[in-house]
Structure formats: structure tokens, C-alpha cells
């Protein structure tokens, strides 16, 4: 029942289902024991650069480096 109660909260905090599930996944990964922990955390690396366009020109790209910032 706890998950049902939690639904409005994360949605109200401006999160999407994707970011909510990513945070949950990261918490689960942190609960693993050692050899598996580093392995699965290495699958969490996020790196890409995204730039919005307006009137046929690219604005400054801002690169998203790691999800770790999101969680802390």
C-alpha cells in the first residue's frame, strides 16, 4: 500500500515515472554486496550532451554527466 500512497508525492515533486524508477533502481543497486555492487553501479554512468534549438540555431550545449547528483 505504501507504493500507492507514494504516487502523488513524486509526481507532485515534478518527477516523471522514469526519474522515480531510476532513483529506486539506484537505491536497490546500493543495497547489493560488494563484487556485484561495483559492477551494477558501473552500469549507472550517464554521459551525453543535449542542446535545445531555437530558430534553426543550437543554444549552448549542457552535458549531463552523472545521475549521482540527482540522488544526493
Partner 1 sequence: MAMAALRREGRRLTPIIYSSNVAPRSSFIPEEIAPMGARFISTQILRNRMKSVKNIQKITKAMKMVAASKLRAIQVKAENSRGLWQPFTALLGDTPSIDVKKNVIVIISSDKGLCGGINSTSVKIGKAVYKLNAGPDKETKYVVVGEKAKAQLIRDSKKGIEISIAELQKNPLNYTQVSVLADDILKNIEYDALRIVFNKFQSVVSFLPTVATVLSPEIVEREAEAGGKLGSLVAYEIDGDETKGELLQNLAEFQFSCTMFNAVMENACSEQGARMSAMDSSSKNAGEMLDRLTLTYNRTRQASITTELIEIISGASALTG
- Would you give the distance in Å from CA 57 to the centre of its chain? 28
Contact pick of 47, 60, 69, 72 for partner 1 (by CB under 8 A): 47
Contact pick of 24, 32, 51, 71 for partner 1 (by CB under 8 A): 51
Measured CA to CA, the distance from residue 54 to residue 57 in angstroms comes to 5
35 vs 56, beta carbon nearer partner 1:
56
List, in order, residues 6 or more apart from 63 with CB less than 8 Å away. 47, 48, 49, 50
Contact pick of 2, 18, 31, 72 for partner 1 (by CB under 8 A): 18
34 vs 48, beta carbon nearer partner 1:
48
Amino acid at each position: 500500500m505504501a507504493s500507492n500512497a507514494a504516487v502523488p508525492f513524486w509526481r507532485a515533486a515534478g518527477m516523471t515515472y522514469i526519474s522515480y524508477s531510476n532513483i529506486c533502481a539506484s537505491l536497490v543497486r546500493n543495497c547489493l554486496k560488494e563484487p556485484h555492487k561495483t559492477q551494477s553501479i558501473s552500469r549507472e554512468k550517464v554521459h551525453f550532451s543535449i542542446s535545445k534549438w531555437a530558430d534553426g540555431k543550437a543554444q549552448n550545449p549542457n552535458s549531463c554527466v552523472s545521475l549521482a547528483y540527482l540522488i544526493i
